[in-house]
């Protein structure tokens, strides 16, 4: 008997098929000895049935067997005995002249192998071939054979054990939606046949094949990508490797693994996927493409409904595809999806765009009917033409509102633009255009103004919608620099509304706030209000009275105490809902200057939550500006840098070219505060990049530009460029003075300029500015302004008098309410430097160590560095510890120790007589230094520190 050891050529191109090939060879050896058999090789499309059949034929031909072949196809499946005739190479003719008689009842042909019909003739022919020597019959794709041939093979199987004949058949065995023909050999005893199943390649075999074709030094992800895109199916894998070899040859190397067929330079892979889908039948192909198109949306029931398939068979098909690795789920119960983007792209290749749109439309409606989230419905509608149904509009608008609340403005814009494709009433179209225009304008895109201008005439003149849209348009125009146009459209609206109505007053209040973007307009509005206040004060509404308080505060005419008292009187009178946001915005700004931070936080929280999502409104912008100002004043740099507008700018630094001013998102004031936050937290390069982007907007007459000049002055002074810093501070002061803003409560430009002048040796000029700052600070009378002015005056004055002034600054700030820690650190550093200069180094070190500790709690690295430099100048040895238990300040140690004992934040507040925010800030700083994220990790991180309490 011939041995069954495989020659190398038998396995060329075959992987993990040696065992099957050897077992077939064993059957062939028995056939050559006179005991024939039938062998059935099953497997899914692409698993290598045909390749294995060719390997069997090649091997047994070399061993002396005559090989006869047949390849079945759908085209021949209606001709009787077509497969057997091709196999035996014979042309059969019907036994009777009447070719249609076979189909008549009772006249069927005799299919017995021992009769007189064609089946017997074919059997006799086979026996004559076998008499001449051992015979190997190979039939590929027997599932496509005509019924007569399939029956002949089964009947022949019962007689082959008497002949030197081996009949090897391949049959597709794969779960499809349309049930395939039953297994050919289902009626035969198992002793009469051998059965083999071909599985996809294992990961190891697939990886070896990839390295064999593409080389060993592949980038990460390529082997995994190949396996996920093919499921280890040899046909798909070989085709993909052919395409990838071509890609690497053209590009000169392997880069990122492709995720779309467009990146491949040839289409073997896509062609093979298309052929496999065709082999699976139209229903299965439709379901596969529906799954690929819907991607991660929808469970089995939804897929079945959209594709129009049987839910039970659909579920079993998905399970079968999942077991083969071509479909995956992100977790138990998660929606199925195609395993790799490249495979998804290939499955969808050539599918008509209209059909893909129909899939999304059907899925959207089914999701809506099932009560799924509006976002899931809306995402399906984005690629669908107008539906013309109310449910589609409702889903898109609800999804947009949710996206706005969650800060996903880009998605919100997509949903709103899609909603405009639907048939809408005039009022509703105006509403959608307003919301879209607000989003676009807030992102700095000029198209927002066009949307808002289009929306204004669509809104009802007497309703609140016209007011909201007009105010939004005015806000967009003013922030874009066209203040006069903004004020003009608001005046026009006031003329359309009843005189002194709540809506007319709200429009006037909006105009007053927007006039701040232009110096002349602001002064004109304030002059008008002051004239009315002097002659007819009863005509002033609450918003106008609040604006007058704000004007007098910034002009240095009233104290913080008087301002708060007047605002309290205003707040005791219920405001009309239309006017309320404007009153709140002004009150919050003045209270922030008055250092009433708890009240400011409450007002801002209530205001921003109550009046959104109408984002383009000067009152809401004013509240957001005040929130940023309060965060900067209190040294809450992390909170300031977490602002969405700030993050958007920082994450898009636009390197390598000039900044695009039109694309600068967010308030210039907020971004200017972010410049200072970056500077204080040690991110100076980022601070300069942001400052350069703001400067690219060009100088404007807006109050916001004054804030930027002051911030850039601080940045330049930190770099030691005192001449340029002085120029910025003085320009800020000139512009503020032109606006009649004299109080240092807004931008303490005199303090900055005085410090620069001192550094430049111009002490007399510095002293003059510092004394003027101190005089105005006393008028306002808050701890921050007075303490800051005293600090600068002490530094500029020098000597014993300077030390006394510095000590007074520290004393004022120590007794201040919470929120002046940043100014206290600067005052302590200044005092430490004065004490060092006076020779009191011991006292200086104590003061400077306190300054370093407080600065560390704030996360203000620049101030920490300044305190440490001053400590070195005082003769102290500085050990820089920025992490671990040793880096904790005394306050952080105490609070962290109590938290480690299990105390709640409320209990710690009560024990230490601290505000809740202070406790939270200290704990956050402690977590950062200890490298932990959870409260439960504190005991282990603190170690013995927590054992003894605080």
What's the per-residue H, E or C state across 586-611? HHHHHHHHCCCHHHHHHHHHHHHHHH
The Cα 595–Cα 779 span in angstroms is 15
CA distance linking residue 245 with residue 256, whole number of Å: 14
Q: Give the DSSP per-residue string, 791-833.
A: HHHHHHH-HHHHHHHHHHHHHHHHTSPTT-HHHHHHHHHHHHH
Helices (H), 502-611: 502-514, 519-535, 542-554, 560-571, 580-593, 597-611
What residues make up the domain containing 174?
Answer: 8-198
Q: Give the DSSP letter of residue 194.
A: E
Give the three-class secondary structure for 223. helix
Strand 37-43's sheet: what is its strand order?
A: 66-71, 135-140, 165-172, 37-43, 193-198
Which 3-state string (H, E, C) describes 299-365?
CHHHHHHHHCCCHHHHHHHHHHHHHHCCEEECCCCCCEEECCHHHHHHHHCCCCHHHHHHHHHHHHH
In this structure, is the dihedral angle defined by the CA atoms of residues 39, 44, 47 and 50, taken in order, positive or negative?
positive
- Residue in this structure with the two tokens 């002015």, named with its chain if needed: 789
Q: How many domains does the chain have?
A: 3
Residues 101 and 33 in one domain: yes
- Distant-in-sequence contacts of 772-775, Cβ < 8 A, 24+ apart: 773/744, 773/748
Three-class SS state of 485? helix
Any domain includes 718: no
519: its two tokens: 């110096």
CA distances from 209 to 13, 323, 606 (A): 9, 21, 64
762 occurs within a structural domain: no
Phi, psi of 328 (to 5 degrees): -135, 165
Residue 179 in any domain: the answer is yes
Are residues 56 and 164 located together in one domain of the fold?
yes
- Do 89 and 225 fall into the same domain? no
Please return the burial class of 850, using the count of CB atoms within 10 Å of its CB with bins 0-12, 13-18 and 19+: buried
Residue 108 DSSP label: P
Tell which phi-psi region holds residue 389, choosing left (phi > 0), alpha (psi between -120 and 50) or beta.
beta
Looking at residue 44, which CATH number applies to its domain? 3.40.50.300
Residue 265 forms part of a structural domain = yes
Contact present, 617 and 471 (Cβ < 8 Å): yes
Contacts of 238 (CB under 8 A, 6+ apart): 13, 209
* Backbone φ and ψ of 158, nearest 5°: -75, -15
Is there a single domain that holds both residue 159 and residue 229? Answer: no
* Residue 172 sits in the same domain as residue 213: no
Residues 128 and 270 reside in one and the same domain: no
What does the alpha-carbon distance between residue 26 and residue 3 come to, in Å, rounded to a whole number? 9
Q: In terms of domains, do 150 and 212 share one?
A: no
| Same-domain pairing of 102 and 247 | no
774: CB partners within 8 A, 6+ apart = 786, 789, 790, 793
Q: Residue 945's pLDDT is what? A: 46
Q: Coil, strand, or helix at residue 782?
A: coil
Whether 41 and 131 share a structural domain: yes
Does 108 reside within a domain?
Answer: yes
Judge if pTM exceeds 0.85: no
How far apart CA 530 and CA 520 sit, in angstroms, is: 15
Count, in order, helices (H) and strands (E) of the chain.
Answer: 45, 7
Looking at residue 332, its pLDDT comes to 82
* 892 part of a folded domain: yes
What is the domain-level CATH number for residue 918? 1.10.10.10
Dihedral pair phi/psi, residue 844, rounded to 5°: -60, -45
Measured distance CA(854)–CA(926) in Å, rounded: 13
Shared-domain flag, residues 42 and 72: yes
Does one domain contain both 103 and 161?
yes
DSSP character string of 265-304: SS-HHHHHHHHHHHHH-HHHHHHHHHHHHHTT---HHHHH
Query: Is 841 contained in some domain?
Result: no
Q: Is residue 456 part of a domain?
A: no
Q: Does residue 600 have a cis peptide bond before it, meaning omega lies within 30 degrees of 0?
A: no
- The set of residues, in sequence order, having a beta carbon less than 8 Å from that of 763 and lying 6+ positions away, is 757, 796
CA atoms within 13 A on the CB side of 403: 23
Instruction: State whether 66 and 110 are in the same domain.
Output: yes
Final residue belonging to a domain, choices 241, 275, 309: 275
The secondary structure of 894-905, three-state, reads: HHHHHHHCCCCH
Q: What is the mean pLDDT of each run of 10 residues along the chain (950 residues)?
A: 44 79 94 93 92 94 94 87 89 52 43 82 92 94 92 92 94 89 85 91 91 85 90 93 86 78 86 92 93 83 90 92 89 87 93 92 92 92 93 95 88 95 94 93 88 92 85 91 92 86 90 92 94 91 94 96 93 82 94 93 84 75 93 90 84 52 67 93 90 84 92 95 96 95 95 95 95 96 95 94 94 88 92 90 89 85 88 77 67 85 84 79 81 78 52
Of 275, 297, 328, which residue sits at a domain end?
275
**Domain endpoint, select from 249, 275, 301:** 275
Which residues on adjacent β-strands are paired with residue 165?
135
3-state secondary structure 38-53: EEEEEECCCCCHHHHH
Helices 703-718 and 722-738 sit at what angle, rounded to 10 degrees?
A: 160
As a dihedral over the C-alpha atoms of residue 221, residue 224, residue 229, residue 233, rounded to 10 degrees, the angle is: 150
Dihedral of CA 867/873/878/880: which sign?
positive
SS3 assignment for 826-876: HHHHHHHHHHHHCCCHHHHHHHHHHHHHHHHHHCCHHHHHHHHHHHHHCCC
Torsion sign over Cα 742, 744, 747, 750: positive
Distance CA 728, CA 747 (A): 12
């Amino acid at each position: 008997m011939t041995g069954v050891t495989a020659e190398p050529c038998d396995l060329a191109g075959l992987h993990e098929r040696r065992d099957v090939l050897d077992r077939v060879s064993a059957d062939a050896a028995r056939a050559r000895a006179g005991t024939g058999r039938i062998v059935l090789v099953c497997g899914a499309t692409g698993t290598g049935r045909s390749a294995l059949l060719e390997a069997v034929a090649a091997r047994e031909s070399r061993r002396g067997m005559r090989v006869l072949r047949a390849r079945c196809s759908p085209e021949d499946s209606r001709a009787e005995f077509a497969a057997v005739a091709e196999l035996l190479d014979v042309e059969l003719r019907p036994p009777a002249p009447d070719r249609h008689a076979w189909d008549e009842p009772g006249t069927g042909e005799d299919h017995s192998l021992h009769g007189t019909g064609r089946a017997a003739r074919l059997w006799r022919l086979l026996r004559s071939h076998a008499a001449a020597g051992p015979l190997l019959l190979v039939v590929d794709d027997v599932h496509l054979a005509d019924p007569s041939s399939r029956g002949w093979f089964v009947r022949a199987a019962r007689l082959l054990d008497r002949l030197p004949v081996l009949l090897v058949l391949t049959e597709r065995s794969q779960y499809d939606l349309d049930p395939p023909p039953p297994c050919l050999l289902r009626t035969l005893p198992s002793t009469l046949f051998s059965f083999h199943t071909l599985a996809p390649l294992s990961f190891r075999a697939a990886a070896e094949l990839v390295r064999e074709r593409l080389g060993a030094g592949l980038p990460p992800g390529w082997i995994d990508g190949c396996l996920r895109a093919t499921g280890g199916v040899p046909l798909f894998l070989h085709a993909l490797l052919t395409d990838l070899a071509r890609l690497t040859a053209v590009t000169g190397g392997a880069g990122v693994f492709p995720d779309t067929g467009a990146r491949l330079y040839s289409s073997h892979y896509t062609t093979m996927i298309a052929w496999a889908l065709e082999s699976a039948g139209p229903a299965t192909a439709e379901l596969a493409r529906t799954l690929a198109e819907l991607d991660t949306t929808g469970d089995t029931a939804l897929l079945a409904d959209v594709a129009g398939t049987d839910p039970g068979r659909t579920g079993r098909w998905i399970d079968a595809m999942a077991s083969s690795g071509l479909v995956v789920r992100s977790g138990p119960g998660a929606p199925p999806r195609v395993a790799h983007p490249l495979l998804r792209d290939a499955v969808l290749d050539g599918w008509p765009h209209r059909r893909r749109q129909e899939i999304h439309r059907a899925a959207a409606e089914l999701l809506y009917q099932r009560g799924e989230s509006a976002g899931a419905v809306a995402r399906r509608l984005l690629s669908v033409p107008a539906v013309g149904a109310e449910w589609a509009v409702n889903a898109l608008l609800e999804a947009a509102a949710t996206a706005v609340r969650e800060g996903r403005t880009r998605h919100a814009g997509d949903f709103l633009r899609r909603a405009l494709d639907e048939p809408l009433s005039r009022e509703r179209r105006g509403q959608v255009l307003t919301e879209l225009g607000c989003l676009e304008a807030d992102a700095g895109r000029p198209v927002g103004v066009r949307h808002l201008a289009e929306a204004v005439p669509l809104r009802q003149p007497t309703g609140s919608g016209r007011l909201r849209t007009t105010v939004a348009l005015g806000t967009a125009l003013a922030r874009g620099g066209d203040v006069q146009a903004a004020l003009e459209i608001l005046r026009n609206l006031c003329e359309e509304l009843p005189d002194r109505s709540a809506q007319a007053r709200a429009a006037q209040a909006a105009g007053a706030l927007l006039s701040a973007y232009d110096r002349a307009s602001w002064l004109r509005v304030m002059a008008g209000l002051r004239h009315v206040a002097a002659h007819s004060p009863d005509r002033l509404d609450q918003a106008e009275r609040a604006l007058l308080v704000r004007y007098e505060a910034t002009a240095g005419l009233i104290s913080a105490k008087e301002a708060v008292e007047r605002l309290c009187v205003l707040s005791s009178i219920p405001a009309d809902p239309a006017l309320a946001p404007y009153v709140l915005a002004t009150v919050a700004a003045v209270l922030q200057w008055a250092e009433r931070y708890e009240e400011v936080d409450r007002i801002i929280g209530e205001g921003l939550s109550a009046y959104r999502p109408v984002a383009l409104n000067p009152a809401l912008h004013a509240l957001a500006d005040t929130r940023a100002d309060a965060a900067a004043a209190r040294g809450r740099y992390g909170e300031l840098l977490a602002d969405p507008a700030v993050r958007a700018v920082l994450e898009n630094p636009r390197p390598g070219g000039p900044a695009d001013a039109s694309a600068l998102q967010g308030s210039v004031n907020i971004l200017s505060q972010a410049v200072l936050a970056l500077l204080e937290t040690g991110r100076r390069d980022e601070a300069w990049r942001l400052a350069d982007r703001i400067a690219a907007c060009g100088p404007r007459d807006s109050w916001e530009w004054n804030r930027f000049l002051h911030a850039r002055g601080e940045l330049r002074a930190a770099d030691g460029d005192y001449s340029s810093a002085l120029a910025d501070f003085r320009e800020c002061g000139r512009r503020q003075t032109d606006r009649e803003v004299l109080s240092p409560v807004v931008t303490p430009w005199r303090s900055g300029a005085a410090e620069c002048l001192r550094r430049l040796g111009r002490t007399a000029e510095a002293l003059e500015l510092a004394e003027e700052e101190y005089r105005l600070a006393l008028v306002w009378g808050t701890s921050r302004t007075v303490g800051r002015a005293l600090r600068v005056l002490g530094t500029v004055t020098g000597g014993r008098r300077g030390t006394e002034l510095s000590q007074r600054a520290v004393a004022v700030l120590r007794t201040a309410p919470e929120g002046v820690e940043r100014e206290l650190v600067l005052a302590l550093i200044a005092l430490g430097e004065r004490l060092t200069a006076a020779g009191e180094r011991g006292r200086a070190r104590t003061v400077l160590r306190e300054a370093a500790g407080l600065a560390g709690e704030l996360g203000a690295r620049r101030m920490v560095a300044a305190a440490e430099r001053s400590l070195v100048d005082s003769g102290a040895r500085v050990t820089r510890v920025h992490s671990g238990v040793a880096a904790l300040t005394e306050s952080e140690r105490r609070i962290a120790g109590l938290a480690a004992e299990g105390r709640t934040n409320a209990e710690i507040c009560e024990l230490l007589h601290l505000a809740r925010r202070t406790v939270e800030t200290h704990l956050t700083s402690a977590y950062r230094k200890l490298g932990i994220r959870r409260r439960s990790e504190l005991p282990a991180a603190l170690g013995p520190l927590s054992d003894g309490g605080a």
